[in-house]
Structure 1
Amino acid sequence: MTMPLCTGDLLAGRYRLERVLGIGGMGVVYRARDLLHEQFGEPCSSVALKVLSECFSECPDGHVMLYSEFSLTRGLWHPGVVRLFGFDVDTSRQLVFFTMELMHGMTLDRLMLERPHGLGWHEWQPMALQLLDALAYAHGRGVLHGDVKPGNVMVGETGIRLFDFGLGQSQAVTGLPGLDRHRISAWTPAYAAPELLDGAQLSASADVYGVACVLYEMAQGRRPHERKLTQALDRPRQLPRHCWAALRAALATDPEQRTITVAELREALAGRSWYGFA
């Protein structure tokens, strides 16, 4: 049984927990001080530290999922993706965790609460391109995110940062020993591709659908299929028609009709023509 954590706790003799930054479906993220770096005079010793949530800490594959997230993300070096530092174990608490950079700003879901009618084109487009850049880079490295949603996007002075690859997978590596993802279903229904909710495997196309839902919500102020999956979508007023054609293709609920990649969507929103369909 894992001991519950409290503010002020010291993990692995090094990390002093300060406060909770966020709680997700699989993990809890704390702000922590790296006391080792402080001893050596490092002026910026604060890190973000992720542990399994209480329910997942009791899951047989939970610790493997946390390491899988660390393993997937540590190889991604991109300004739009959170940077991870190290994976560690606190033996006295029988607790695994990893550390990552402390991001500053607010998550996109919080920003959208302040902007209920959506963002204007001149604000929306740069943010959309940064998010798509980050996801296209991950796909180019063979990494699928699996849970693209506003709560997993940080908006700060330096731009957009994509984080929380906890449900992600590698297309290049078959997986870690002992990891059984079929026992764990934590897709966010509002942004998950319909085929995922029907039990299909994660794919690049499913990530396309997720990020398209986020982009639509950023432009329109509400999720695309908030009412019915079969309801025809309206083009957000500030979105140029050539951009809408590409975004609408990415929002196709039928994966067979979702014939656009993240990189192609990014090019279309940057103003380049996309000829995926008439």
Structure 2
Amino acid sequence: MVGNEGRLVAGRYRLTALIGQGGMGRVWRGQDERLNRQVAVKEVLLPAGLSAGERAELIQRTAREAEVAARLGHPGIITVHDVVTEGQAPWIVMEYVSGPSLARLVEREGRLTWQRAAEVGAQMADALAHAHAEKVVHRDLKPDNVLVLERRTVITDFGIARVLDGSAGTRLTRTGVVIGTPQFMSPEQIEGREATSAGDVWALGATLYAAVEGTAPFDAPNLTALFHAILSKALPPPRHAGPLAPLLESMLVKNADERPRAAVIARRLGELQGRRPSTATAGEQPPEPPRPVARLSTVTAPARVPQQAVGTPPVHPPTELDSPAPPRPPARVVPEVRPMAEPRRRALLLAGAAALTTVAGGGWWAWKAGGQGESGRASDTRLSGHTRGVYALDFSPDGRYLATGSEDRTARLWNVATRKSTILADDDGPFWALAFSPDSALLAGGSDDGTISLWNVAAGTRVATLKGLEDDVVAVAFSPDGKTLASRGVESAVALWNVGSRRLESELEGHTSRVSSLAFSPDGRVLASGAWDNTVRLWNAHSRAPIGTLTGHTNYVSSVAFSPDGRTLVSGGWDSTVRLWSTIGREMTGTLSGHTEVVRAVAFSPNGKTVASAAEDGSVRLWDVAGPQTAGVVLSDHAGALCTVAFSPDGKMVASADTAVRWWSVV
């Protein structure tokens, strides 16, 4: 089989080249001939001597584990597309990532600097934290299972070790064959105890140790001596790890209960890179973060910001948009403050009368906590129907509909008045992004197969499918005149489609990593794009020329949105912050800290006074960005991580979703 280039697996996946192999299987670069995209295809090698029943059981287990892995929607975890059976063996079809493994990188270039290891490790720890929150354990983390790109680190092979392990609580099969790489196995796994998240933390520590030291922390000439060293010998002190050393030692303690959690490791690694200061400078008292608001003042703005007619003076002076900005002094960055400890996810963020702090160049206010507040609010409405996480939602501009896209491979259209839904697409997704046209007539949905669906909202039917992209479409946005649709393009580009002709007109290049979010300014003159290169870029939507780059996030940018007057841009990021930017000065005017996990989505209220943010910590926060309020509250009625949030066009409701869609009355 090793030489079977050109073989067609399951009548769909053409094997083009063998790119890796090990004890658990062989990995091929392949071509999905149905969707015309490049994929990685893993042939899982089942143990020899299995009976027909045992083989069938393992094939079924592979399908279950692949399904679990497919639910882990995280950029640091390889995306699983499909699992098939061919030649009495299971094959797992995944996204193709072109990059060396960490093992190959160290072999080729030598040990990593501690700074590079911290960068790689932070992304790995964040991915593990996401998996552990979903009750998924990797069980075989090692340098060979980590792919390293320029700015992205990806963990592969979630669930494979579990498939090949014949028993529930051990890493050894009935024949005594070791499943995995012993040098990276935790003491409790060697002893036959159940693999847990703490075992993944040990493996993460051993992997990073090997990256900075050039060799695994424990090694020996035979398996018995190796197991003895892992179980009983002290960790050889790392010599090249620098400030990483204490953290590595904490991950490699023998007692599993004493190891830090993956989320804590991700934060500490970020701090080592200067991403988030853990304490204020000695003698300085940092400002308190802006507080969420409990209720908004009555909305007086129209249902949706009106689109400007041709010839109407733009919000920004033409000189600001039609030519690159002159060099500016560095923006005044507001120091980030780690949030107060909360006793539970739904705990109240107290707010009260306190000194207000203005920020130069911005219009937002920071509140100091104090006094009494009210408890976290339950949602007014809960819409059930989706069976997996909802990644996208959008209200139609006329306020009649709410569209939702889910990992359960469906897109739904909800009637806001009746709370009833219509399924627009079944088994066509998952749908990662949705956007209504300004006239509410069309709905665009970006899917994981690189296509964009256009639906006629009134009829509930698909009218077109836009093709030509190679990977999942995680961002779509209509221009205010409805003539242009922006989407994530090939690799790190922004794609611009002519809605009338359904053709790809141009691609905007400048980001160095994948584009994750898009938004047009209300006047249609500016397009903002957020990306995994930690930046937001502004483009002249007419000339397609770049206007400027906004830097300040210390991790991936996940979401962007304009204020109704177009003068402020808000962004959310993997650094757990919400940031405010002046689109005229092109500088940061504020940092809103309070979320404890990745901020996935942000939205401005129609009156421009409030920003909503949704995060993987399961909460929606409402931030007052126009003036003081007297109380604060977190909208935290969800049971899981949140990836999307939206205001209704009249500003009276905020909607978000985990597997269920919820909305709150906020006036």
Query: TM (normalized to structure 2)?
Result: 0.35
1:56–1:147: structure 2 CA closer, same or farther, 3 Å change rule? farther
Q: Is 1:83 aligned to residue 79 of structure 2?
A: yes
Residue of structure 2 in register with 1:37 after alignment: 35
Q: How many residues align?
A: 252
Following TM superposition, by how much is the alpha carbon of 1:11 offset from its aligned partner in structure 2, in angstroms? 1.8
Which amino acid is 1:196 matched to?
A: Q
1:151–1:57: structure 2 CA closer, same or farther, 3 Å change rule? farther
The CA distance in 1 between the partners of 2:92 and 2:235, in whole Å, is: 43
More displaced 10-residue stretch of structure 1: 220-229 or 142-151 = 220-229
Residue of structure 2 in register with 1:244 after alignment: 245
1:261–1:4: structure 2 CA closer, same or farther, 3 Å change rule? same
C-alpha contact (below 8 Å) 1:26/1:166 kept by paired residues: no
Q: Which of structures 1 and 2 has the bigger CA Rg?
A: 2
Which amino acid is 1:138 matched to?
A: A
More displaced 10-residue stretch of structure 1: 62-71 or 143-152 = 62-71
C-alpha contact (below 8 Å) 1:115/1:221 kept by paired residues: no
The CA distance in 2 between the partners of 1:194 and 1:27, in whole Å, is: 25
1:259–1:16: structure 2 CA closer, same or farther, 3 Å change rule? closer
Percent identity of paired positions between Structure 1 and Structure 2? 28
C-alpha contact (below 8 Å) 1:19/1:30 kept by paired residues: yes
Alignment partner for residue 145 of structure 1, among 138, 144, 149?
138
Which amino acid is 1:252 matched to?
A: V
Q: Where do 1:6-25 residues align within 5 Å?
A: 6-25=4-23
Deviations 1:38-92 (A, max 9, x none): 3xxxxxx2211122215369471431332233122100111111011112234xx
Residue of structure 1 in register with 2:604 after alignment: none
Q: Where do 1:29-68 residues align within 5 Å?
A: 29-38=27-36, 45-53=37-45, 55=47, 58=50, 60=54, 61-68=57-64
C-alpha contact (below 8 Å) 2:235/2:252 kept by paired residues: no
More displaced 10-residue stretch of structure 1: 94-103 or 125-134 = 94-103
1:252–1:86: structure 2 CA closer, same or farther, 3 Å change rule? same
More displaced 10-residue stretch of structure 1: 15-24 or 3-12 = 3-12
Which amino acid is 1:7 matched to?
A: E
Following TM superposition, by how much is the alpha carbon of 1:17 offset from its aligned partner in structure 2, in angstroms? 1.4
Residue of structure 2 in register with 1:268 after alignment: 268
1:202–1:213: structure 2 CA closer, same or farther, 3 Å change rule? same
Which amino acid is 1:239 matched to?
A: G
Following TM superposition, by how much is the alpha carbon of 1:129 offset from its aligned partner in structure 2, in angstroms? 0.8
Q: Where do 1:221-240 residues align within 5 Å?
A: 221-226=214-219, 228-229=229-230, 230-240=233-243
Residue of structure 2 in register with 1:98 after alignment: 92
The CA distance in 2 between the partners of 1:136 and 1:57, in whole Å, is: 37
More strand by share: 2
Alignment partner for residue 179 of structure 2, among 186, 189, 193?
186
Residue of structure 2 in register with 1:128 after alignment: 121
Following TM superposition, by how much is the alpha carbon of 1:252 offset from its aligned partner in structure 2, in angstroms? 0.8
Structure 2 regions of 5+ residues with no counterpart? Answer: 221-228, 272-276, 280-667
Following TM superposition, by how much is the alpha carbon of 1:121 offset from its aligned partner in structure 2, in angstroms? 2.7
Measured on the aligned residues, the alpha-carbon RMSD in Å equals 2.7
1:5–1:55: structure 2 CA closer, same or farther, 3 Å change rule? farther
Residue of structure 2 in register with 1:74 after alignment: 70
Query: TM (normalized to structure 1)?
Result: 0.80
Q: Is 1:209 aligned to residue 202 of structure 2?
A: yes
Q: Which structure exhibits the higher relative contact order, with contacts defined as CA atoms closer than 8 Å and separated by 6 or more residues?
A: 1
The CA distance in 1 between the partners of 2:16 and 2:179, in whole Å, is: 27
Structure 1 regions of 5+ residues with no counterpart? Answer: 39-44, 170-174
C-alpha contact (below 8 Å) 2:235/2:249 kept by paired residues: no
1:196–1:19: structure 2 CA closer, same or farther, 3 Å change rule? same
1:8–1:212: structure 2 CA closer, same or farther, 3 Å change rule? same
The CA distance in 2 between the partners of 1:71 and 1:84, in whole Å, is: 8
Following TM superposition, by how much is the alpha carbon of 1:109 offset from its aligned partner in structure 2, in angstroms? 0.4
C-alpha contact (below 8 Å) 2:6/2:16 kept by paired residues: yes
1:160–1:13: structure 2 CA closer, same or farther, 3 Å change rule? same
The CA distance in 2 between the partners of 1:5 and 1:121, in whole Å, is: 40
